[in-house]
Amino acid sequence: MKVLSWNVNGLRSAIGKGFGDWLARSGAAVVGVQEVRAATHELDLVPIGPWKAHFAPALRPGYSGVGLFSRRAPDAVEASLGEARFDAEGRFQLARFGRLTIVNAYFPNGNGKDRDNSRIPYKLDFYRAVFDRLAPAVRAGEPVIVMGDFNTAHRAVDLARPKANEKTSGFRPEEREELDRWLRSGFVDTFRSFEQGPGHYSWWSQRFGVREKNVGWRLDYVLASEGAMPFVKRAFLEPHTLGSDHCPAGVELDDAVVG
């Protein structure tokens, strides 16, 4: 059972760059996309073929939004954290497939309009809201997968230029500490459970030559609860998949995870 996450940087744009072909050949059972940047009625023409699709758009046009594609219909789908300030930005989906819970989330960027880090408090509140929503299932040992653009590079090895970005949102101490808290509380960074080395990134600036030089950040994660980790067989990035400034991240799970 392959599960994939991709910040597509505008789904309609990504479709024009081959998203449909990528989806068809992905071999995935579930695909979560972030930064959809379209209203539901604008996505009615998305060529989804056999996929079941669910979208949680932002109220603000052309902003944020998440979407979930799955081969089989989820047993249940939720798109609310119970707080209007989060729900209005279309950042959260929770789907259940048997006993497996999959969360698709687009964690906020803390930069603010003037790159003044003014959105960091909102970003951390969103992290905590998602964490609290999942805590009972995680404590109960249920298999939980949280995938998406976390907008945080966890450690120095997770970005090409850590020293130059110590004061930049995405690598601020308080953001990294919040991700640490998740990992201390039972979540596992699946990619790092298989690969410890440097040079593995999922986002690159769109400035000329940056991606070719691999000057990037690892912002996209698939986290697994302790109840899910025994079913995780592989975790990976797809840095050669183009069509967005991010690349897909994914895991392969034993089918038994759904029960």
The pTM for the full model equals 0.97
- In this prediction, residue 137 carries a pLDDT of 97
CA distance 113 to 116: 7
Q: Which of 114, 116, 125, 149 is catalytic?
A: 149
* Other Cβ atoms within 10 Å of 201 Cβ, number: 22
What is residue 44's predicted lDDT score, i.e. its pLDDT?
64
Q: Which long-range contacts (CB under 8 A, 24 or more apart) does 40-47 make?
A: 42/12, 43/11, 43/12, 43/67, 46/11, 46/15, 47/15, 47/20
> Which class for 164: exposed (0-12), middle (13-18), buried (19 or more C-beta within 10 A)?
exposed
**pLDDT tens column, 8-37:** 999 999 999 999 999 999 999 999 999 999
* Domain ranges, ordered by start, for the chain: 2-258
Residue 117's pLDDT is 94
**Mean pLDDT computed over every residue of the chain:** 96
Q: Report the run of H or E that residue 204 belongs to, with start and end.
A: strand 203-204
Tell me what pLDDT residue 47 has.
61
Percent of the chain with pLDDT over 70: 98
Cα–Cα–Cα angle for 224, 169, 135, rounded to 5 degrees? 30
| Antiparallel, parallel or unpaired: β 92-97 and 187-189 | unpaired
pLDDT of residue 80: 98
In this model, does residue 45 exceed pLDDT 60?
A: no
- pLDDT tens digits for range 157-172: 999 999 999 999 999 9
- Whether 178 has a pLDDT exceeding 60, the answer reads yes
2-258 homologous superfamily: Endonuclease/exonuclease/phosphatase (3.60.10.10)
Q: Which tens digits make up the pLDDT trace of 88-134?
A: 999 999 999 999 999 999 999 999 888 899 999 999 999 999 999 99
Q: How many CB atoms lie within 10 A of CB 75?
A: 12
Has 254 been annotated as catalytic? no
Q: Does residue 109 sit in helix, strand or coil?
A: coil
